[in-house]
Structure 1
Amino acid sequence: MFHESVIVCFVAIAALSSAAPPPPPSSSPSGEWWRDSFIYQVYPRSFKDSNGDGIGDLNGVTSKLDYFVDLNISAFWLSPIFKSPMVDFGYDISNFTAIDPIFGTTNDFKKLTTEAHARGLKVILDWVPNHSSDEHPWFEKSIKKIKPYDDYYVWKDAKIINGTRHPPNNWLSIFLGSAWEWNDKRQQYYLHQFAIKQPDLNFRNAALRKEMEDALVFWVKNGADGFRIDSIPYVYEDAQFRDEPIVPNSGKPADDPATLKHIYTIDQIETYQLVQAWRNAIDSLGGEKKILMTEAYTSLPNTVKYYEYGSNVPFNFMFVTGLNNHSTALDFKRSIDGWINNIPKGGNYIANWVVDNHDNPRVTTRFGSLRADQNSMLAAVLPGLGVIYNGDEIGMEGLQLSWKQTVDPQGCNAGPERYASLSRDGERTPFQWDTTTSAGFSTSNITWLPVNPNYKTLNLAAQKNVPKSHYGIFKKLVALKSSEIIKSGELQVILATDKVLGVVRRLPNTTPIVLLINFSNDAIQIDASAWMNIPSNMSVYTSSVSSNISLGAHLDTTSLKLNGASAVILA
């Protein structure tokens, strides 16, 4: 989950929290199958519809497993598939151990994991611990104060001012407005840091913690190879429920969370301890190692601290929220160096690079279609793990929907004047497989979100056998990711000029791997050999669609021409 007002750019480097973390992991990374690979995010509603109802489902994903094999990714993770009223399209869960009928059944999930494992693929589930749906039986019992559920959610008495009822404090929801909602039956307010129909769970309650831990274990026993933990910084709040400080002159409406400094509603130390408890519970099951990935839009120090509490992949969102089409080569260098330099020392922690996700405008929207391949190329050449969102591998573009077409609650809550900048529908449109009905996503002409009209020319089938296509390039990037020079080679991030960023990976007695990105919209000619200490003649491993550089071409790096907004990898 995401709201742009709570982003903290990764460029700023600060001291890590003084809270004492647990000891670092063992020096052996044995069994960490996710290393030096790409993980692929699937948004199930929009990936493949198997039954013609216009909504993607688990059997649709199963039917496309060979596509993942062809890409050679290590794993895919599924946005929420649990039982839900779908107010927030699966992020409002009414049963943490059941599959929603929209997506299929538990048997369909077991079939998916069985067939995925047979192909050497891992399956990661999206875990949403901060809240449930208000239609969860726990919440219904909590309203009635039935034990032990009476304390499963965060309830507070009203604040009475001049005889008038007010929320307990000034906390604001990510979806705009007060984070508190009055319940007439219980005669108290409940906390909802997201939608009104998503009441926050109370993790200070031991019984609730056990329920959620048991649900994680349930899915591991049913085939899950790990979890992406949603919105983890929000799970605990200040125990004293103090008002948050007001941001002076924010320029935002009073109902916008950007008007507050979030020091009491996110990043509490108990949150990290909870992740460590989940790590321990999953590890205690034995068997092959399971991955934990944590989604935290927070400061760099707070993000990397998750490494020390059991997260294998504390999502690095610098390409998603910290940088954009106005960022310079220097901005990219500073951000990359900042992340690499702040990964904790003394363990086998690996970097990660999130190219895109379902909560933010697509990379083609944020950086422009000419730079569609750029961040995937960076994720491939930089050390560690790459994370890509379905559709990015073919250069899918965001779609601007009308107010009447908007279904995302974050956009709907913003109203017709503000929805365009807050709705996440544009990046969630159906995957464009081919030129048939609804881009091959569904046999129905009506889909839950409209298909982007550009599917007639922008689709997988059109790119499948074209080496110089987004798809062809991405396949080469995945293959490069697992090479020894990327796994263990020396890293240099270099400003080749003020407009050109260079990344070099080196191993002794081996031709280096060199990535060059032109951040200017104009063509540039540089002596990359002198600036980057690379051979004067190198071959093109791959290049961005916009580069006009042929794959396999031999280039003179002493006089290298790069088109505007283009990128090339040399070997």
Structure 2
Amino acid sequence: MKIFFLIGITLIGLTQAKDWWENGNFYQIYPRSFKDSNGDGVGDLNGIAEKLPYLKEIGIAGAWLSPIFKSPMVDFGYDIADYRVIHPEFGTMEDFKNLIKKAKEIGMKIFLDFVPNHTSDESEWFKKSVQRIEPYTDYYIWHDGIIDENGERKPPTNWVSAFRYSAWEWNEDRKQYYLHQFAIKQPDLNYRNPKVVTEMKNVIKFWLDIGVDGFRIDAVPYMFEIEADKNGNYPDEPINENCPNPDDNCHTKKIYTQDQIETYDMIYQWRELCDEYKKEHGGDTRILFTEAYTSLENEIRYYGDGKRNGSHVAFNFELISYTNMGSTAADFNKHIDSWLNKIPKDVIANWVLGNHDNHRLASRYGPARTDLFNIMLNTLPGNAITYNGEEIGMTDVWISWEDSVDPQACNTDPDRYYAVSRDPARTPFQWDASNLAGFSSSTNSWLPVAKNYTINNVLMQSRSPVSHLQVFKKLTKLRQEPAFQTKTLNEKIVHNNVLLYRREGKGDNYIIVLNFGKNSETINLKEKFPSITNKVEIITTSIQSKYTDGEIVDATKFVAEGEVGTVVVSV
């Protein structure tokens, strides 16, 4: 059944048969913290392979792995020394091939985190570039620097690294500065060099040949900088007067170092590569996820330009970037609509509420709201992306500045490091109540395990009839219903704190009730959605709700409990 609404609807209609990845549930695995199989305190590929049945059981279509490539681990894998070699802590290439094989056997997809902006300074490419050995001489961004009025050499521009301080580092061997938009040991690649473009396309082909199903592309907006002038120089960026400390990343407005127009073309080229690969080799669509914290207008451009296709899933950070514990239903609805109203009609929406770079969902919004947000994530139209541990309501772990290992935190002053530290959300996965939460047989793990692991873990929640995990599993199953495969969304705001929306298909009318406030509200659902019946059935609800699944209630006097999400169906 096709239904078209003129008011309150953000996307309309169904267009064509769905591809395998559309409306799917995807899951991010942080390999160092997921499951340690050999007792060294660090998660690995065999540990991931062991737990694939768990992911299948909870309704995951595919998982992407944060970087597993050879690395000195300064930025825990995002500083890659060799794109074609598995980092020894994670295992071997045979281990990875075994992981791919097991995933295919149970019908799951595996994606790799592709980090194209920079390599490690321990990469052979960089070492040879330092020595000016061809063809690597111009694989990176090099500059002589400038000489000031006092005859002193200084960096060529005022550009600031995402990890603070100058984005330029002097290399004594080459006698030039190199650009690094992240850590000093992460030199930026030069995508204006066609040889670099070819090199990275060959890396993509290499892993597609191994059997991966696609890539999550990291830090996309940073890939290109403004082109140097005829003298090889770059301009300073404008100063942000609201961020006066020149060491802070926010000190400059990133008009020359992010979101350059060539970036979109590179994504389109990689999409063409993946599409051609499918034509040549058959099988399912190989998909691209793109990570870009940028304006909504820029985000939309990653999907394509009307002539060429780009990312299949441009991660939607509207909610993660612009909402917090104090946000109202109206706030959430605003950002839901801003995304849905601007993406092209043939694009599948997606929703991201957590990842390895942000504090955990339950810590940002409050543990009591874990189910509320998982219900929202899984009932909005399109793809849902879950960070490992969010399905059981894992929370941040406090880690002191002295014990921090995240370079972003270590480069920040001790009095404000915790706001930017990514360590608290990267702690080991909580499997059971045994040693180190069942993550490892070691006496220590690379980051500490949460103290609440004995009462908050997968085993305990899987055995309990009422738990965050049970709610999550119900939601992923519910998403297979026809009503949740459409793009329609009819939203209503009640008393500023309650968000209602309807998902409809083949005669079913599902109503999702999300109360972001602390107080309960009595709502006439029949008045808000006249086409539903006077009675509704509770399909699933937050664990603290007084409702039970299967309960029939009066739609005209529905109580939206405080900080609770509920899914009902018209009967």
Q: Give your verdict on TM over 0.5.
A: yes
The answer to whether residue 262 in structure 2 is matched with residue 266 in structure 1 is no
Question: Which structure 2 segments of 5+ residues have no match?
Answer: 1-14, 229-233
SS in 2 for 1:447: coil
The answer to whether residue 70 in structure 2 is matched with residue 73 in structure 1 is no
1:517 paired residue number: 514
SS in 2 for 1:570: strand
Q: Is the 8 A contact 1:94 1:137 kept in 2?
A: yes
The answer to whether residue 241 in structure 2 is matched with residue 248 in structure 1 is yes
1:237 paired residue number: 225
1:504 paired residue number: 502
Amino acid in the other structure paired with 2:191: F
2: CA distance, partners of 1:466 / 1:336: 33
2: CA distance, partners of 1:553 / 1:263: 55
Amino acid in the other structure paired with 1:300: L
Runs of 4+, deviation exceeding 3 Å: 27-30
Q: What is the CA-CA distance between 1:468 and the residue it aligns to?
A: 2.4
Kindly provide the CA deviation profile for residues 130-157 of structure 1, in whole angstroms up to 9, marking residues without a partner as x: 0000000000000111111010001111
Q: Is the 8 A contact 1:181 1:196 kept in 2?
A: yes
Q: Is the 8 A contact 1:292 1:311 kept in 2?
A: yes
2:162 paired residue number: 174
Q: Is the 8 A contact 1:496 1:531 kept in 2?
A: no
2:427 paired residue number: 429
Question: Which structure 1 segments of 5+ residues have no match?
Answer: 1-26
2:203 paired residue number: 215
2: CA distance, partners of 1:29 / 1:204: 39
2:87 paired residue number: 100
1:484 to 459, 482, 485: 482
Amino acid in the other structure paired with 1:180: W
1:5 paired residue number: none
Q: What is the CA-CA distance between 1:192 and the residue it aligns to?
A: 0.4
Kindly provide the CA deviation profile for residues 39-66 of structure 1, in whole angstroms up to 9, marking residues without a partner as x: 0110000000000000000000000111
2: CA distance, partners of 1:369 / 1:410: 26
1:544 paired residue number: 542
1:532 to 523, 529, 532: 529
1: CA distance, partners of 2:17 / 2:248: 43
1: CA distance, partners of 2:182 / 2:415: 20
2:43 paired residue number: 56
Q: What is the CA-CA distance between 1:566 and the residue it aligns to?
A: 1.0
Kindly provide the CA deviation profile for residues 225-269 of structure 1, in whole angstroms up to 9, marking residues without a partner as x: 00000000100001132211111233x532111122111111111
- Pairing 1:202-351 to 2, within 5 Å after superposition: 202-240=190-228, 241-250=234-243, 253-286=245-278, 287=282, 288-308=284-304, 309-345=309-345, 348-351=346-349
Kindly provide the CA deviation profile for residues 395-441 of structure 1, in whole angstroms up to 9, marking residues without a partner as x: 10111111222111110111322211111000000000000000000
1: CA distance, partners of 2:505 / 2:422: 42
Q: Is the 8 A contact 1:179 1:192 kept in 2?
A: yes
The answer to whether residue 181 in structure 2 is matched with residue 184 in structure 1 is no
SS in 2 for 1:146: coil
- State the identity %: 47
Amino acid in the other structure paired with 1:356: G
Moved more, 412-421 or 355-364: 412-421
2: CA distance, partners of 1:400 / 1:515: 34
2: CA distance, partners of 1:225 / 1:489: 25
Q: Is the 8 A contact 1:38 1:478 kept in 2?
A: yes
The answer to whether residue 97 in structure 2 is matched with residue 110 in structure 1 is yes
Q: Is the 8 A contact 1:381 1:503 kept in 2?
A: no
2: CA distance, partners of 1:260 / 1:528: 49
2: CA distance, partners of 1:77 / 1:147: 34
Amino acid in the other structure paired with 1:380: N
1:472 to 456, 466, 470: 470
2: CA distance, partners of 1:559 / 1:77: 43
1: CA distance, partners of 2:119 / 2:17: 35
Kindly provide the CA deviation profile for residues 99-148 of structure 1, in whole angstroms up to 9, marking residues without a partner as x: 00000111111000011001000001000000000000000000111111
Kindly provide the CA deviation profile for residues 4-46 of structure 1, in whole angstroms up to 9, marking residues without a partner as x: xxxxxxxxxxxxxxxxxxxxxxx7555x311112001100000
Q: Is the 8 A contact 1:99 1:106 kept in 2?
A: yes
SS in 1 for 2:538: strand
Q: Is the 8 A contact 1:179 1:191 kept in 2?
A: yes
1: CA distance, partners of 2:26 / 2:187: 31
2: CA distance, partners of 1:318 / 1:512: 27
Kindly provide the CA deviation profile for residues 479-504 of structure 1, in whole angstroms up to 9, marking residues without a partner as x: 11222111126311211332210111
Q: Is the 8 A contact 1:489 1:507 kept in 2?
A: no
Amino acid in the other structure paired with 2:452: N
SS in 2 for 1:151: coil
SS in 2 for 1:292: strand
2: CA distance, partners of 1:336 / 1:390: 23
1:440 to 438, 441, 456: 438
1: CA distance, partners of 2:272 / 2:520: 53
Kindly provide the CA deviation profile for residues 440-476 of structure 1, in whole angstroms up to 9, marking residues without a partner as x: 0000120000000100101111110334211000001
- Pairing 1:142-153 to 2, within 5 Å after superposition: 142-153=129-140
SS in 1 for 2:429: coil
Moved more, 525-534 or 408-417: 525-534
Q: Is the 8 A contact 2:319 2:335 kept in 1?
A: no
Q: Is the 8 A contact 2:484 2:505 kept in 1?
A: no
Amino acid in the other structure paired with 2:81: S
Amino acid in the other structure paired with 1:233: P
- Pairing 1:35-54 to 2, within 5 Å after superposition: 35-54=22-41
2:377 paired residue number: 379
Q: Is the 8 A contact 1:468 1:551 kept in 2?
A: no
SS in 2 for 1:535: coil
Amino acid in the other structure paired with 1:90: G
1: CA distance, partners of 2:503 / 2:418: 41
TM-score (norm: length of structure 1): 0.93
Structure-2 change in CA distance of 1:59 and 1:307 (3 Å) = same
Q: Is the 8 A contact 2:22 2:383 kept in 1?
A: yes
1: CA distance, partners of 2:362 / 2:482: 30
Q: Is the 8 A contact 2:373 2:565 kept in 1?
A: no
1:159 to 123, 129, 146: 146
Q: Is the 8 A contact 1:132 1:198 kept in 2?
A: yes
Moved more, 153-162 or 559-568: 559-568
1: CA distance, partners of 2:551 / 2:464: 16
Q: What is the CA-CA distance between 1:561 and the residue it aligns to?
A: 1.7
2: CA distance, partners of 1:178 / 1:141: 24
